[in-house]
Amino acid sequence: MVVSVVVGGFFGDEGKGKIVSHIVNSKNISIVARGGVGPNAGHTVVIRGTKYQLRMVPSGFAGKHVEKLLIGPGVLVNPEIFLKELSVTKVKGKLFCDPKCGIITEKHINQDKTDVHLTGIVGTSGSGTGPANEDRVRRSLRLAKDIPELSEYLIDVPLIINDYIEKGKEVLLEGTQATHLSLWHGTYPHVTSKDVTAAAICSDVGIGPTAVSDVIVVFKAYVTRVGSPKADKMEGELTETETQRRGWEEYGTVTGRLRRAAPFNYNLAKRSIMLNYATKIALTKLDILFPEDRGTTDYSALSNEAKQWIEEKESKLGMRFTYIGTGPSDSEIIER
Ligand code: GTP
Ligand code: IMP
Ligand code: MG
């Protein structure tokens, strides 16, 4: 059993990209495959000092043993972003998408940026993913196989992944968005345009549930969300001034919008653990709460305050954090 799935436990931007970029090397991953909605996601990964902002290329692109980077048929592709990131990350020969990936066009982006419901009520990322998924449901959306510029990057993603699984190679499935943005399980209507829990990520890339060995749910030390209007306030949501005072301010990778912030939320976390049937959990941004612990890679070296904070969370959640982020770089992490 060699397939691990990484998903977000709150409202996205938990730092899944950073956790994935660590796991690809610590577990000798051969294939990283992206599930999730599409280029509405923005992962920031810092690899040996260089910062990459990715919307299409899987965050595990720099893994030493990675042979293939795949985008499953359930994921929407924006060809322009795909080709640009292919060149920035220098992964030609490794990066492929499935011929059945849906294609986002200017029309979808315009709709996403002008539709009153999408901009006003949902507060979407404006990347065209919702309108493209509407067309997919109507069965009128064009697919990657119809796009000449993508022809050399097409591969049967489910076939390749299942072949690697049969050979006993390690596969990592990278989810995007997060559990509470799921169209089924999230805070409807302030959600994304499909399910994004672990089960959906498997379906996006063409893997059956019995192939999965680990489901890793990623939480941040506090909760953030972007886009949806103030009417959908989070429990304990901070004012902008208080967010800044605590040093919790973050700006969206895709939209540049200030992310709204609230303290770590047990109810949301427990529900995510349940909905994804987590086998492992990860925590990021411990260093934002405890700056003296920045860069620590050894649990025993953490300050007593940080350990106490973590142990309180673990006892209430009934699970231990396997990965703990202590800085943005792929090396700033504790694994236990
Ligand atoms: P989505 O797929 O869009 O949900 O994104 P994501 O979960 O990959 O997270 P994103 O990269 O959008 O946001 C996380 C931010 O936190 C990035 O700027 C990361 O570089 C940063 N980050 C991740 N882990 C840590 C950490 O442990 N400490 C600090 N200080 N920053 C971190
Ligand atoms: P859409 O997915 O662009 O349609 O946006 C729907 C909602 O999900 C909005 O509140 C977005 O801000 C949010 N969202 C979508 N993708 C992400 C993500 O990757 N990180 C954080 N929020 C996201
Ligand atoms: Mg993000």
pLDDT at 1 over 60: no
pLDDT at 202 over 70: yes
Residue whose tokens read 């309108």? 131
| Smallest-distance ligand from the CA of 329 | 1
pLDDT at 168 over 90: yes
pTM given for the model: 0.97
If you measure from the C-alpha of residue 12 to the centroid of ligand 1, how many angstroms do you get, rounded to a whole number?
Answer: 9
With the most atoms of ligand 1 within 8 angstroms of its CB, the residue from 23, 285, 323 to mutate is 285
User: Does the beta carbon of 181 lie inside 6 Å of ligand 2?
Assistant: yes
The pLDDT tens digits of the residues spanning 300-333 come to 999 999 999 999 999 999 999 999 999 999 899 9
pLDDT attached to residue 155: 98
pLDDT attached to residue 173: 98
Which CATH number covers residue 309? 3.40.440.10
pLDDT at 171 over 90: yes
If you measure from the C-alpha of residue 128 to the centroid of ligand 2, how many angstroms do you get, rounded to a whole number?
Answer: 11
Which tokens in the block code for residue 40?
A: 């509405």
Residue whose tokens read 């007593």? 304
User: Looking at 26-35, 164-173, 208-217, 255-264, which range is the least confident one?
Assistant: 255-264
pLDDT attached to residue 302: 98
If you measure from the C-alpha of residue 315 to the centroid of ligand 2, how many angstroms do you get, rounded to a whole number?
Answer: 31
User: Does the beta carbon of 252 lie inside 6 Å of ligand 1?
Assistant: no
Average pLDDT over residues 155-177: 97
Q: Which domain holds residue 132?
A: 3-335
Average pLDDT, rounded, for the chain: 96
User: Does the beta carbon of 42 lie inside 6 Å of ligand 1?
Assistant: yes
b/e sequence 280-318, b meaning 16+ C-beta within 10 Å: bbbbbbbbbbbeebeebeeeeebeeebeebbeebeeebe
Counting the structural domains of the chain, the total is 1
The pLDDT tens digits of the residues spanning 25-74 come to 999 999 999 999 999 999 999 998 899 999 999 999 999 999 999 999 99
Percent of the chain predicted with pLDDT > 70: 99
Residue whose tokens read 């049967």? 156
Locate the ligand 2 atom nearest the alpha carbon of residue 37 and give its number: 2
